[in-house]
């Protein structure tokens, strides 16, 4: 049986000090391991044991959320554009 501490080399050196503004610096090795980059949004919650848990927030792309929601009635993009804008004026 493996000891859980031996599998996590970060266990003993993962301390940070909370600043007066409530800010904490995530240790560099952990940021690199988890792929946390500048500008990354984290969601924080408290678990049932009183521990603080952070999750990388999934950024929702508003265009992706709309993808496929427009019913174009089986028309191609060209047909839809002609309907919306009229035929192209090509000299």
Torsions phi, psi for 34 (to 5 deg) = -95, -5
For the chain, how many structural domains are there in total? 1
Within a domain: residue 16?
A: yes
Query: How do 52-56 and 42-46 pair as beta strands?
Result: antiparallel
Q: Is residue 13 part of a domain?
A: yes
**Does any domain span residue 67?**
no
- Give a yes or no: residue 34 inside a domain: yes
Tell me if 69 is assigned to some domain: no
Which CATH number belongs to the domain containing residue 25 in this structure? 2.10.260.10
| pLDDT over threshold 70, residue 8 | no
Asked whether residue 72 is assigned to any structural domain, the reply reads no
pLDDT of residue 88: 81
> Per the domain annotation, does 70 fall within a domain?
no
Domain assignment present for 79: no
Each residue's pLDDT tens digit, 11-70? 556 788 999 999 999 999 899 999 999 989 999 999 999 999 999 988 777 777 777 777
What is this structure's pTM?
A: 0.49
**What range does the domain containing 35 cover?**
4-56
- At 67 the three-state DSSP class reads coil
Strand segments, DSSP code E, in the chain are: 42-46, 52-56
């Amino acid at each position: 049986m493996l000891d859980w501490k031996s599998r996590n080399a970060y266990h003993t050196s993962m301390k940070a000090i909370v600043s007066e503004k409530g800010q904490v610096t995530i240790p560099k090795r952990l940021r690199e391991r988890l792929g946390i980059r500048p500008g990354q949004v984290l969601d924080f919650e408290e678990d049932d044991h009183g521990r603080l848990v952070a999750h990388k927030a999934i950024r929702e792309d508003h265009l992706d959320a709309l993808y496929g929601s427009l019913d174009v009635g089986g028309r191609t993009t060209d047909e839809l554009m002609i309907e919306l804008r009229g035929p192209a004026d090509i000299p």
